[in-house]
Amino acid sequence: MDFFSMPEFINKTAVVTGGAQGIGLVAVLAFLRNGAKVIALDKDEDAINDALEDFLSDYRPRVEFITCDLARPDQVKQSCQKVLSACGKIDVLVNNAGVGSWKTIEEITLEEWDEVININLRAAFLMVKNLLPALGEGSAVVNIASTRAFMSEANTEPYSASKGGLLALTHALAISLAPKKIRVNAISPGWVEVSAYKKRKERKAPVLREIDHKQHPAGRVGKPEDVANAVLFLASSLSGFITGTRLIVDGGMTVKMIYEE
C-alpha cells in the first residue's frame, strides 16, 4: 500500500467511523503509518477483531476501537464521550461509515430508509456535534460521500439521498465552523474495490475484468488507498485553504460522456 508521507500527523489524533472494513480500515492504516493515534468506531465486532489481528497488529497501542451502532443517537453520544475522555484534542474526524439499501421504491420500507439516512447522514452531524469540544483550531473534518450524490443507478434512493445530504452538510458545517478555524470537506469516491479489506468471512481477492478498468478514463478501478490519500491531503495543512468543497475520486467516470448506439 502506498500512502502519502505526512510527518505532521505524528502524535496527532484521528477519529474514523466505519473503521473496521473497506475504505475506513485503509484510512485508519494511512493515519497509523503516518504516526497518528486512531480511534475508530464500528458496530461489527467480528470485523473489528479481524481488522485488529490481520491489519493493525503492528500499530497497537496507537489504535483503539469503540463498538458503536451509528444509527442510535444514544450510542453515538456515549461513544463520543469515551473519545473525549481518552483525548483532549481531536485533529481529524473522518465520517466514513455508510450503508445502502438496493430495493425498488415499492419494496423498501420506511425503517430501511431511515436506517440508511441515520447512519450515512445524521450520524455525521452527531459526530461533529458531540466531538466539537475537542475539535479546535486547525482541526479537519472529512466526510466520505459518493459520486451517487450527483448521478444514479436505479433503486438507490436512500443511499443517493443520504450522500447528497452529506455534501450539503459539508458546506453548511464549513461555514458554521469557520470561526473556530475548523475546515470541513467531502470526498466522493466512485468505484473502489474493497474486497480484500472486508472481515475474514467476506474477504476475497478482487475479480475485475479488463473492461472494468478500461471504462475508467484513468485506466483502472479505484483502490481504497486512492481515497485514503485524499483523506490525508484534506486532513493536512497542505489543504489549509480548502474548506466546504468536495473532491471527486472516481478515475474520471463522472466527466465521461457515454452514448449508446
Enumerate the active-site residues: 159
Indicate the helix (H) or strand (E) that contains 48: helix 45-54
Indicate the helix (H) or strand (E) that contains 111: helix 110-117
Number of C-alpha atoms within 13 angstroms, CB side, residue 249? 23
Q: Which long-range contacts (CB under 8 A, 24 or more apart) does 107-116 make?
A: 108/157, 108/158, 112/158, 113/157, 113/158, 115/71, 116/158, 116/159, 116/162
The x, y and z cell numbers of residue 2, run together, are 502506498
Report the distance separating Cα 52 and Cα 86, nearest Å.
Answer: 19
